[in-house]
Structure 1
Amino acid sequence: MAHIERVDLNLLAPLAALLEERHVSNAAAVAGMSQPAMSRALQRLRDALGDELLVRTPRGYRLTPRAERIQRRLRAVLPRLEGLFAPEEFDPAGAAEAFRVAGTDYTRVFAPAVFQRVFRESPRSTLHFRTWHDAIYEDLDRGVVDLVFFAGAEPLVALHTERLFGDRFVCVLSADHPLAELPGITLDAYLDATHVVIGTTDERQTAIEHRLEHLGARRRAGLTVPYHSLAAHSVLGTRLILTLPARLLAEQPPDAGLRVLPAPREIRRLDYLMAWHPRLDGDLGQRWLRDTVRAVTAELPEAAM
């Protein structure tokens, strides 16, 4: 790097034009420069390279031996440099990207459609869906995963986040639960009950716990499970209350042994987001993946709030 640091790389284009045209005026026209500017560039090149490069003869300018060697190298190097600095393009049909995403099992409301669209439009690419865990944001920060889907408080690490869609929380109870016949559950009744908690992070259902903490309240966990799918049938014949997003229930047939009530209005709304590291902002493959997720989630029916 010691030699290249002594040279103004802006001289590469004038150098290539001078060596090809072997004429200052013609080279200036090719490079889009004035003739005096090209003459100054030639002098700077001579000083930097320690060679005359172009020598006047009765038949016009001739290249010096070193200039001929430089020209041969430039013909090989310049197309590569042009490709290096040219705008990138991304063709999903021919791309072979390895996408790494993560989320809880709630993503089943949209992830299968994302997978189908990815493989339809980019059949050579691969997708690896990682299990959600407490250090998932650190994985994103370290580059272990590319994109995560989540609900609740935004991560503390410096990530870019974007809301994908909304949902609403509902409460699932056994049909013989004392609250099952009510039109809804008040916050006081909710806090007096015992709950099934879907422990996504630190064995907490963060989208709910953060909302309750903001209100200065806590709920009592009687059962903690890692998956929404496992929780749905855990309340039958118990006094437990399960709180989960309504879209999950829309995918399964109603159960006569269960009752579904609106959650307390203080925790009813749910925003679902995706997050990625800022270093992936400009990556064309990652931008295409995020656009694919946006397109799929935009087609979801709006959840009543």
Structure 2
Amino acid sequence: MPRIESVDLNLLAPLHALLEERHVSRAAARLHTTQPSMSRALQRLRATLGDELLVRGPGGYQLTPRAERIQAELLHALPRLEHVFSGETFDPATAARTFRLAGTDYTVSVLSGALLGRVFEQSPGSTVLFSRWHHAVFADAEHGMVDLLIHGGTPPPPLRSHVLFEEGYSCLISSHHPLAQCSAMSLEDYLDCAHIVIDVMDGRQGHVDRRLESLGRPRRASVTLPYHAAAASAVPGTSLVATLPTKFAIQHAAPGITTVIPAPEEIGPMSYAMSWHPRLDDDVAHRWLRDTIISTLNTS
């Protein structure tokens, strides 16, 4: 069997035309070439394949058994080859793509409902897999294990990113907490409290702890939990403070049980982004997903 690098792929089109037309002149006309040129192509094909391919019979040329088998194989192979060399397309309505995303429980909660509704409305055959956030998640994206990350802050190179939205922070505390009646929490009062730290990565809560450490005023973690929702559930009946994205804190506040107070202004807001590896820049399905996320957030 000849190796692909030893085969002249320019013979593929003449082969297909000859087997379809079963006539040298008609095959030449089909490819807009001359009859002598097509005859030479047939001779080369016979030498390469070790078969006559076309033989004279009653009423004209007939295919040899080998040529019939080749014709059947080309019926399936040629459309695939044409797809390889054509511009890539993505039709959401007929696609069956699996999209692998990763994010914290907060970012997943922001996106999942509205995004999934839009994805499955437009691409019912596709699948969305959300995986948990962990310390090596950026490496997962770099190594092709995750398609898209939804997160706060800036990703490390070589990942690309697009800022999606900005969110401030608030403190969720028990309604019986000494600071429950305050309109805002000062940094001094904040640092005097017992804190729930959400372990986003490496035991720290990303933006919140980076900001405090940059001020030389780190907080003490009384409790460390892996999820934002778990932190909100741990607050009632305690003196603990959970520092949460404001919308999330409001959604998880229980009237008469927990209270939401703006976090110290020194903490500031956080920018949330989606990030991906550059190899997916021009992937049409991935680009569709990115555009869908942006449009979902813009209309929600």
SS of 2:134's equivalent?
coil
1:98 Cα offset (Å):
4.5
**What residue in structure 1 maps to residue 167 of structure 2?**
167
| Superimposed CA distance per residue, residues 33-73 of structure 1 (whole angstroms, 9 cap, x where no aligned partner) | 4556545534543543456666899x99846xxx6344313
**What residue in structure 2 maps to residue 261 of structure 1?**
262
Q: Distance in 1 between matches of 2:191 and 2:25?
A: 85
TM-score by length of 1: 0.72
| Superimposed CA distance per residue, residues 225-259 of structure 1 (whole angstroms, 9 cap, x where no aligned partner) | 22212323655676654322122134245746535
Amino acid of the structure 2 residue aligned with 1:109: V
Question: Does 2:91 align with 1:76?
Answer: no
Please tell me whether the aligned partners of residues 170 and 260 of structure 1 are also in contact (alpha carbons under 8 angstroms).
Answer: yes
Q: Give the direction of change, closer, same or farther, for the CA distance of 1:197–1:237 in structure 2 (3 Å limit).
A: same
SS of 2:168's equivalent?
strand
Please tell me whether the aligned partners of residues 103 and 148 of structure 1 are also in contact (alpha carbons under 8 angstroms).
Answer: yes
**What residue in structure 2 maps to residue 303 of structure 1?**
none
SS of 1:232's equivalent?
helix
**What residue in structure 2 maps to residue 113 of structure 1?**
114
| Superimposed CA distance per residue, residues 182-234 of structure 1 (whole angstroms, 9 cap, x where no aligned partner) | 65645x77667653311111121123334455666643323322221232365
Q: Distance in 2 between matches of 1:218 and 1:146?
A: 34
- Aligned pairs for 1:280-299 (under 5 A) are 286-299=286-299
1:296 Cα offset (Å):
1.9
Report percent identity of matched pairs: 45
Question: Does 2:16 align with 1:12?
Answer: no
SS of 1:251's equivalent?
helix
RMSD: 4.1
Please tell me whether the aligned partners of residues 166 and 272 of structure 2 are also in contact (alpha carbons under 8 angstroms).
Answer: yes
Amino acid of the structure 2 residue aligned with 1:297: L
Q: Give the direction of change, closer, same or farther, for the CA distance of 1:279–1:92 in structure 2 (3 Å limit).
A: same
Please tell me whether the aligned partners of residues 153 and 206 of structure 1 are also in contact (alpha carbons under 8 angstroms).
Answer: no
TM-score by length of 2: 0.73
**What residue in structure 2 maps to residue 196 of structure 1?**
196
- Aligned pairs for 1:52-201 (under 5 A) are 62=61, 68-85=64-81, 86=83, 90-106=90-106, 107-141=108-142, 144-155=145-156, 158-172=158-172, 177=178, 181=182, 183=184, 185=186, 195-201=195-201
Higher alpha-carbon deviation: 215-224 or 68-77: 215-224
| Superimposed CA distance per residue, residues 150-187 of structure 1 (whole angstroms, 9 cap, x where no aligned partner) | 2134146x54433322222234456754697365645x
1:25 Cα offset (Å):
4.6
Please tell me whether the aligned partners of residues 165 and 298 of structure 1 are also in contact (alpha carbons under 8 angstroms).
Answer: no
Please tell me whether the aligned partners of residues 173 and 180 of structure 1 are also in contact (alpha carbons under 8 angstroms).
Answer: no
Q: Distance in 2 between matches of 1:22 and 1:236?
A: 83
Please tell me whether the aligned partners of residues 162 and 273 of structure 1 are also in contact (alpha carbons under 8 angstroms).
Answer: yes
SS of 2:273's equivalent?
strand
Point out where structure 2 has 5 or more consecutive residues left out of the alignment.
Answer: none
1:264 Cα offset (Å):
2.5
**What residue in structure 2 maps to residue 229 of structure 1?**
229
Q: Distance in 1 between matches of 2:231 and 2:211?
A: 21
Amino acid of the structure 2 residue aligned with 1:84: R
Amino acid of the structure 1 residue aligned with 2:292: T
Point out where structure 1 has 5 or more consecutive residues left out of the alignment.
Answer: 301-305
Please tell me whether the aligned partners of residues 185 and 261 of structure 1 are also in contact (alpha carbons under 8 angstroms).
Answer: no
